[in-house]
Amino acid sequence: MKIIVCIKQVPDTNEVKIDPVKGTLIREGVPSILNPDDKSALEEALRVKDNNPDTHITVLTMGPPQAEEVLIEGIAMGADEGILLSDRAFAGADTWATSNTLAKAIERVGDYDIIFCGRQAIDGDTAQVGPQIGERLGIPQVSYVEKFFVEEGTIRVHRALEDGYEVIEGKSPILLTTIKELNEPRYPSIPGIIKAYREDRIKVWTVNDLDIPSTDIGLDGSPTQVKRSFTPEPKGKGEMLEGSIDDKVQSLVKKLNEKNLI
């Protein structure tokens, strides 16, 4: 079986601090990590490989040269090879241009049975790229996968819903987006880290390696653009109303009146 896992390097948002003076995010010195949902996606692929050692896993990412680090981590966890899509022309991509680029790269890889994507990246939280890749490739897709089974060519998943789950069966090729409830990702192995750095298992593809017009990638290929970033004004301290229900209601109505809200 051949599996492609789409992964992303993201800033560790747990480590992001707010500049107390400017009120903006301090991005300098924030460690980069492999996006948590993507790690679950990779772990599930690795479990397929644990049971069928002839499974081949490719980890794929788009990003600046230093995004190589998440491919190394993926290979150190057990993936066979990595592809880094890195070119200034890819920069500034929104989800539309990103999924375009990733889908073209996957077409170039060609032979695959399953594509695993993490549900969403913790820096953008869009959850759009996975499903868009599926659409572009014209293959079936299931999002929010919380359980995964593969038996004799049939893929069965539990798709998480707010109040339960759906059981969905499909055949490969298929794209699945995974959530962290799916599994507990393994650590990279130490020999894996050393091999990943010393063996040449990462290919770097630029725009010239993909059959894609420049109008479909990067900033130019992005129909949405960030107009302005800002930190929302702090809401101020909440106030807990005390007393009996009647007291609280009266005091609430009075306050809302004062603010001309009712």
69 counts as binding another protein under rule CB under 8 A: yes
76 counts as binding another protein under rule CB under 8 A: yes
64 counts as binding another protein under rule CB under 8 A: no
d(CA 184, CA 117) in angstroms, rounded, equals 16
73 counts as binding another protein under rule CB under 8 A: yes
CA distances from 214 to 91, 133, 134, 247 (A): 12, 18, 21, 65
Number of Cβ atoms within 10 Å of the Cβ of 259: 7
Kindly tell me which of 150 and 196 has the beta carbon lying closer to another protein: 196
Closest approach, Cβ 83 to another protein, in A, equals 19
Kindly tell me which of 28 and 111 has the beta carbon lying closer to another protein: 28
Coil, strand or helix: which one is 79?
coil
Cβ contact 78:51 at 8 Å: no
187 counts as binding another protein under rule CB under 8 A: yes
Beta strand 164-171 with 32-34: parallel, antiparallel or unpaired?
Answer: unpaired
26 counts as binding another protein under rule CB under 8 A: no
204 counts as binding another protein under rule CB under 8 A: no
Kindly tell me which of 76 and 155 has the beta carbon lying closer to another protein: 76
Please give the structure tokens belonging to residue 12.
């560790």
For another protein, the binding residue among 186, 201, 203, 251 (CB under 8 A) is 186
195 counts as binding another protein under rule CB under 8 A: yes
Taken in order 92, 97, 103, 108, the sign of the CA dihedral is negative
Coil, strand or helix: which one is 150?
strand
The stretch near another protein (CB under 8 A) out of 20-28, 71-79, 211-219, 246-254 is: 71-79
53 counts as binding another protein under rule CB under 8 A: no
For another protein, the binding residue among 53, 65, 138, 191 (CB under 8 A) is 191
d(CA 46, CA 25) in angstroms, rounded, equals 35
Residues in contact with another protein, total (CB under 8 A)?
17
Number of Cβ atoms within 10 Å of the Cβ of 255: 13
Footprint on this chain of another protein (rule: CB under 8 A): 31, 69, 72-73, 76, 186-195, 197-198
